[in-house]
Amino acid sequence: MMNHNYYISRRSFLRHASILTASMTMRSVSLRMFAEKDVIIGHGAYRYKVDMNWGLLDSSKFPVKDCHEMVYTKAGNIILLTNDIRNNILMYNKDGTLVKSWGKTYPGGHGLTLMDEGGEEFLYITDTVRHEVIKTDLDGKEVLILPFPRAAANYTKPEEYLPTETAIASNGDIYVADGYGSQYIIKYNQYGRIEKVFGGRGEQEDQFFNAHGIAIDSRNGKERLLITARQQNKLKYFAMDGTYESSIHLDGAYICRPVIKDDTVYLATIWSGNGSSNTGFVSILNKENQLVSAPGGCMPKYTNGKLNPLYQTLQIFKHPHDVCIDEDENMYVCQWNAGNSYPIKLIRV
């Protein structure tokens, strides 16, 4: 005799599989159309036209692997970090034309921070393979290396240290997030001397599960650290001395680093829902840290002051890893594990 429960489960599975297959087919058609039509995504005041042809290059000459992060220079150029050692750095102008490329020594290139120091701009590159943070000028000249922090009592071997991001305070202090390692935040002075270690792996509010990104938030006139706890779907505020302050919960959003421009926080959301592959979108928070737009994702909705769970609605992105905002508030989205694809431009409308 056929097991009734098995029959129902199998019938349900086949029905849902058919729906999923049809959905994926429609998504593929939609993606092909995005390159040709003026598709608008986002919500409220933060809506964007999709340009999937921006920044395309000859991949045989200027290849990319994982496009991890992007920054915007005061000259109006966009710098992209990839972990392809044939050219770790690609510098574009805003129309997507390549300006220059360099870098062959950053196999684990992951985090890219830009800092203006006395009128000259510098890059801070975190490398998860080298277990180092490297400071360079915009032409690739290395001026400072922060090696594996052996002096910190929390570490015993380089493999425990896989830095993912940096943030630079106005006084020159350097904060490194060990997001793929032991989950500590390491504070250095501007000369590279360790001054404090805090955080660490754990489920407490002052600890992290994937301290993936870190930024300086000075929107209220006072510098604070805004740090991602990606697997916890949270952003966490810390004072500059490492004291925990508060958290922002974005249920269903697996967020990368916070990018702050003016009063707005932008977050590449690499996965959503239950964390499945190819479910990314972008999260945008206002000055009050309320989610106001989710390009590629569901419309933000709060119920009794609590944000409803977030999920992808359009598969424009696979795995967004960072965003970059220009002076016209256009957005450039680079991706991890997305078929060696170049960035997607979102034009503010």
The percentage of residues in the chain with a pLDDT greater than 70, rounded to a whole number, is 89
Alpha-carbon torsion angle 222, 166, 207, 279, nearest 10: 110
User: What is the average per-residue pLDDT within 226-237?
Assistant: 98
Residue 130: partners with Cβ closer than 8 Å, 6 or more residues away = 106, 107, 108
Question: Is 305 a domain residue?
Answer: yes
Please give the Cα distance from 257 to 111 (Å, whole number).
9
Contact in structure between 69 and 107 (CB atoms under 8 Å): no
Question: Is 90 a domain residue?
Answer: no
Question: Is 175 a domain residue?
Answer: no
Question: Is 156 a domain residue?
Answer: no
Contact in structure between 151 and 161 (CB atoms under 8 Å): no
Contact in structure between 281 and 294 (CB atoms under 8 Å): yes
> What string of DSSP letters covers 179-197?
TTTT-EEEEE-TTS-EEEE
Q: In terms of residue numbers, what domain contains 285? A: 27-56+255-349
pLDDT of residue 38: 80
Give the confidence band of 37 by pLDDT, cuts at 50, 70, 90. Answer: low
What pTM was computed for the model?
A: 0.90
Question: Is 105 a domain residue?
Answer: no
pLDDT of residue 30: 44
pLDDT of residue 263: 97
Question: Is 340 a domain residue?
Answer: yes
Contact in structure between 113 and 81 (CB atoms under 8 Å): no
Q: What angle do CA 197, 200, 201 make, to 5 degrees?
A: 170
Conformational region of residue 28, where left means phi above 0, alpha means psi within -120 to 50, and beta covers everything else: alpha
Q: What angle do CA 78, 82, 87 make, to 5 degrees?
A: 90
- pLDDT, one tens digit per residue, over 159-175 is 999 999 999 999 999 99
- pLDDT, one tens digit per residue, over 107-146 is 999 999 999 999 999 999 999 999 999 999 999 999 999 9
Give the confidence band of 13 by pLDDT, cuts at 50, 70, 90. Answer: very low
* pLDDT of 11 strictly over 80: no
Question: Is 136 a domain residue?
Answer: no
pLDDT of residue 153: 84
Please give the Cα distance from 151 to 317 (Å, whole number).
41
Please give the Cα distance from 44 to 193 (Å, whole number).
45
pLDDT of residue 22: 35
* pLDDT of 214 strictly over 70: yes
pLDDT of residue 51: 97
Q: What is the mean pLDDT of the chain?
A: 91
* pLDDT of 27 strictly over 60: no
What is the tally of structural domains in the chain?
1
* pLDDT of 28 strictly over 90: no
Lowest mean pLDDT of 19-28, 50-59, 222-231, 262-271, name the range.
19-28
Give the confidence band of 6 by pLDDT, cuts at 50, 70, 90. Answer: very low
- pLDDT, one tens digit per residue, over 259-295 is 999 999 999 999 999 999 999 999 999 999 999 999 9
pLDDT of residue 4: 33
Contact in structure between 310 and 252 (CB atoms under 8 Å): yes
Q: Which residue has the higher pLDDT, 136 or 37?
A: 136
Q: What angle do CA 259, 280, 10 make, to 5 degrees?
A: 160
Contact in structure between 88 and 102 (CB atoms under 8 Å): yes
